[in-house]
């Protein structure tokens, strides 16, 4: 994987490679004026952008609030969005541009220059003409240097359940139940971290939230009080079976492909029921970091649009960073299009909009923060309790950013508590037959901050 190659090249201590990319660029860092130096038009999607060639064109672009990109030379307007804190995508003059933000790592020190991108990919909207580019922001640049804490490394220690944590959670509240999952003790602390998402916490880099228009409010008010894609019109199920990601940080691939699987079932009234290969994404996508994480916008969306996905039987899941297998290229590829953040851009997500898009188009891939109490969830409507697993006190379970699939919502009879119905990828024995419910309407654990949708192309 080329993104990996970049990380390893720069990493003096390879063991330090954690999470998604270490870039942590905010909306304020990125909005403004940029020069994109484009090289090598006329390529196809096999183009290698790790070593961009001579510059053939300079695009001067202004990124304005909230999602407007302007070609400074010609005055044409397009679109842009931040992709969490990792980079940004611009769509302008019939071309798309995506790159990760620039960073370097030296030992425990990460230096990121949010005014610069790593080499990225540009192609025309139909994907027939690819080029590479590097972006630099005009004007004074802000460089963040972050020194990662050097904690003693207990990541290879076996994970240990905490009975007391479970008892405390169950005493503290009645809305959800915790239990002991003995199988969790088969994993190391590091495995559990990857299982929970691999990526660092959510929510810090959002621009000011968008205002929910009255129109969106009206659209949401006409929706049913409850909805579940597993049970539509008295029993039709449009959701593919629950899977298990094991100890690889591939939740983003499972959440993303589960959305495409389900939306394909919806589009074809269940006459096409495919399961897509998460290993293909883990091993072959340069838009994500294999078992170390990734984002649905770049997988269900960009990877599925630019490269397509294959069926599970073509490239079965192994749950490790095995290198991309070229002979798999012979398998039929399935594509998606019109990927977007609910609300239009990162920062625009709202509960009302999520419900409207869910009912209209199908399940949504969402991210949320996993704390250690969540690992013990066995049923009910989850909210974060703050109770910690004391057996991990030498290596507190870091907040991670996990990707899952929202398939429905409802209101609990009796308590009146509102919830989302969510498909996880920890096997069918976890939670409520592989699913969980979580508080709705309060952005619990940031679950209403970054919903993504994409539309599979009918094969
Ligand atoms: C950060 O990027 C900007 C834009 O390319 C550049 O002008 C600046 O010199 C870079 N800063 C550092 C410290 O590399
Ligand atoms: C990213 O930066 C924000 C401040 O801009 C900070 O609050 C947050 O903790 C940082 N996140 C990571 C993962 O470093
Ligand atoms: C969809 O499939 C169901 C179950 O097979 C069937 O009852 C229904 O008529 C179909 N709907 C359409 C629009 O074809
Ligand atoms: C918790 O478990 C108890 C005992 O099995 C059950 O009666 C109760 O309904 C559960 N509560 C929730 C919120 O699932």
Buried residues in 59-68 as b, exposed as e (16+ CB within 10 A): bebbbeebbe
Q: What is the pLDDT of residue 5?
A: 32
The ligand placed nearest to the CA atom of residue 143 is 1
Boundary (domain end) residue, out of 99, 126, 147: 147
| 139 lies in the same domain as 267 | no
Q: Answer yes or no: is the C-beta of 431 below 6 A from any ligand 4 atom.
A: no
Whether the pLDDT of residue 12 is over 90: the answer is no
Domain membership flag for residue 4: no
Closest CA to 206 of 33, 24, 369, 356: 24
Contacts of residue 313, Cβ cutoff 8 Å, sequence gap at least 6: none
Handedness of CA 242, 439, 159, 320 (dihedral sign): positive
Contacts of residue 167, Cβ cutoff 8 Å, sequence gap at least 6: none
Higher pLDDT, 239 or 388: 239
Which of 63-72, 144-153, 154-163 comes out lowest in average pLDDT?
144-153
Catalytic residue check, 402: yes
Position 6 confidence tier, pLDDT thresholds 50, 70, 90 = very low
**CA-201 nearest atom, ligand 2:** 13
Contacts of residue 51, Cβ cutoff 8 Å, sequence gap at least 6: 119
Dig out the tokens for 194 from the structure.
Answer: 């990857």
| 308 lies in the same domain as 399 | yes
Domain membership flag for residue 269: yes
Q: Domain holding 265: CATH number?
A: 3.90.70.10
Q: Answer yes or no: is the C-beta of 204 below 6 A from any ligand 2 atom.
A: yes
| 326 lies in the same domain as 212 | yes
Q: Answer yes or no: is the C-beta of 176 below 6 A from any ligand 4 atom.
A: yes
Position 285 confidence tier, pLDDT thresholds 50, 70, 90 = very high
Rounded mean pLDDT, 396-405: 82
Residue listed under structure tokens 């096997």: 427
| 120 lies in the same domain as 230 | no
Q: What is the DSSP secondary-structure string of 314-336?
A: GS----S-PPP-GGGGGS--B-E
Task: For residue 422, report the phi and psi dihedrals to the nearest 5 degrees.
Answer: -130, 135
Rounded mean pLDDT, 337-362: 95
Q: Mutation test of ligand 2: which of 24, 109, 401 has the most ligand atoms closer than 8 Å to its C-beta?
A: 24
Domain membership flag for residue 205: yes
Contact between 385 and 172 (Cβ < 8 Å): yes
Rounded mean pLDDT, 122-129: 96
Domain membership flag for residue 247: yes
Pick the catalytic residue from 25, 49, 132, 251: 251
Percent with pLDDT over 70 in the chain: 90
Whether the pLDDT of residue 26 is over 50: the answer is yes
Most trustworthy range by pLDDT among 84-88, 148-152, 251-255, 393-397:
251-255
Q: Ligand 3 mean position to 31 CA, how many Å?
A: 47
Query: For 288-325, what is each residue's pLDDT tens digit?
Result: 999 999 999 999 999 999 999 999 999 999 999 999 98
Domains of the chain: total: 2
Distance (Å, whole) CA 89 – CA 130: 15
- Burial of 94 (C-beta count, 10 Å sphere; 0-12/13-18/19+): exposed
**What average pLDDT does the chain have?**
89
Boundary (domain end) residue, out of 147, 168, 195: 147
86-94 long-range contacts, Cβ below 8 Å, gap at least 24? 86/20, 86/21, 86/23, 86/25, 86/295, 87/21, 87/23, 87/25, 87/117, 87/118, 87/120, 88/30, 88/63, 89/297, 89/302, 90/36, 90/61, 90/63, 91/125, 92/59, 92/61, 94/124, 94/125
Rounded mean pLDDT, 329-356: 92
The ligand placed nearest to the CA atom of residue 271 is 3
| 348 lies in the same domain as 203 | yes
| 109 lies in the same domain as 54 | yes
Distance (Å, whole) CA 33 – CA 141: 11
To the nearest 10°, the Cα dihedral for 371, 376, 378, 381?
Answer: -30
132: containing domain:
27-147
Q: What is the pLDDT of residue 52?
A: 85
Q: Domain holding 126: CATH number?
A: 2.40.128.80
Rounded mean pLDDT, 80-93: 95
Contact between 90 and 96 (Cβ < 8 Å): yes
Distance (Å, whole) CA 456 – CA 361: 11
Contacts of residue 121, Cβ cutoff 8 Å, sequence gap at least 6: 47, 49, 97, 98, 99, 130, 131, 132, 133, 306
Domain membership flag for residue 16: no
Rounded mean pLDDT, 74-90: 96
Q: What is the pLDDT of residue 434?
A: 98
Q: Ligand 3 mean position to 270 CA, how many Å?
A: 8
| 226 lies in the same domain as 304 | yes
Distance (Å, whole) CA 418 – CA 440: 5
Q: Are strands 377-382 and 435-439 parallel, antiparallel or unpaired?
A: parallel
Which of 8-22, 81-95, 255-269 comes out lowest in average pLDDT?
8-22
Whether the pLDDT of residue 394 is over 80: the answer is no
Rounded mean pLDDT, 47-72: 94
Domain membership flag for residue 170: no
Which of 18-22, 195-199, 420-424 comes out lowest in average pLDDT?
18-22
Distance (Å, whole) CA 401 – CA 295: 10
Position 151 confidence tier, pLDDT thresholds 50, 70, 90 = low
Distance (Å, whole) CA 281 – CA 291: 10
* Residue nearest (by alpha carbon) to ligand 1 atom 8: 141
| 249 lies in the same domain as 134 | no
* Residue nearest (by alpha carbon) to ligand 4 atom 5: 177
Query: What global pTM score does this model have?
Result: 0.93
| 201 lies in the same domain as 317 | yes
Q: Answer yes or no: is the C-beta of 143 below 6 A from any ligand 1 atom.
A: yes
| 200 lies in the same domain as 325 | yes
| 197 lies in the same domain as 139 | no
CA 75 to chain CA mean position, Å: 33
Q: Which helix (H) or strand (E) holds 254?
A: helix 251-267
Catalytic residue check, 251: yes
- Burial of 391 (C-beta count, 10 Å sphere; 0-12/13-18/19+): middle
Domain membership flag for residue 171: no
Domain membership flag for residue 166: no
| 377 lies in the same domain as 338 | yes
Q: Tally the C-alpha atoms within 13 A of residue 209's C-alpha that lie toward its C-beta.
A: 15
Catalytic residue check, 384: no
Distance (Å, whole) CA 201 – CA 370: 8
């Amino acid at each position: 994987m080329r993104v990996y190659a970049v990380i390893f090249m720069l990493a003096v201590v390879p063991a330090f490679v954690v999470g998604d990319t270490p870039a942590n660029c905010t909306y304020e860092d990125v909005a403004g004026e940029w020069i994109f130096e484009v090289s090598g038009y006329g390529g196809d999607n096999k183009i290698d952008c790790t070593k961009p060639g001579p510059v053939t064109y300079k695009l001067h672009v202004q990124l304005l609030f909230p999602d407007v990109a302007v070609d400074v030379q010609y005055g044409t307007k397009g679109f842009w969005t931040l992709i969490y804190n990792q980079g940004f995508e611009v769509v302008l003059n019939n071309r798309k541009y995506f790159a990760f933000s620039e960073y370097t790592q030296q030992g425990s020190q990460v230096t990121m220059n949010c005014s610069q991108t790593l080499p990225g990919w540009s192609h025309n909207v139909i994907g027939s003409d690819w080029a590479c580019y590097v972006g630099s922001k005009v004007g004074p640049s802000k460089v963040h240097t972050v020194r990662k804490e050097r904690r003693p490394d207990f990541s290879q220690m076996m994970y240990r359940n905490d009975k007391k944590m479970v008892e405390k959670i169950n005493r503290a509240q009645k809305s959800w139940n915790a239990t002991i999952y003995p199988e969790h003790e088969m994993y190391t602390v590091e495995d559990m971290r990857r299982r929970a998402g691999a990526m660092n916490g959510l929510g810090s880099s959002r621009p000011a939230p968008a205002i929910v228009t009255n129109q969106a409010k009206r659209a949401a008010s006409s929706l049913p009080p409850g909805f579940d894609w597993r049970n539509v019109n008295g029993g039709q199920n449009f959701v593919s079976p629950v899977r298990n990601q094991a100890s690889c940080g591939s939740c983003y691939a499972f959440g993303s492909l589960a959305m495409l699987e389900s939306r394909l079932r919806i589009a074809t009234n269940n006459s096409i029921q495919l399961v897509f290969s998460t290993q293909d994404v883990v091993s072959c996508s340069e838009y994500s970091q294999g078992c170390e994480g990734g984002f649905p916008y770049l997988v269900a969306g960009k990877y599925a649009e630019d490269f397509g996905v294959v069926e599970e039987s073509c490239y079965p899941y192994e749950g490790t960073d095995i290198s991309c297998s070229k002979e798999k290229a012979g398998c039929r590829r399935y594509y998606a299009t019109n990927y977007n953040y609910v609300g239009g851009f990162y920062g625009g997500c709202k509960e009302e909009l999520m419900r409207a898009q869910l009912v209209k188009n199908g399940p949504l891939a969402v991210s949320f923060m996993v704390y250690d109490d969540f690992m013990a969830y066995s049923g009910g409507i989850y909210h974060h309790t703050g109770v910690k697993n004391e057996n991990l006190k030498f290596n507190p379970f870091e907040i991670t950013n996990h990707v899952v699939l929202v398939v429905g919502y409802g209101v609990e009879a009796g308590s009146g508590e509102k919830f989302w119905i969510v498909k996880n990828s920890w096997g069918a024995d976890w939670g409520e037959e592989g699913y969980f419910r979580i508080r709705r309407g309060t952005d619990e654990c940031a679950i209403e901050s970054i919903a993504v949708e994409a539309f599979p192309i009918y094969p």
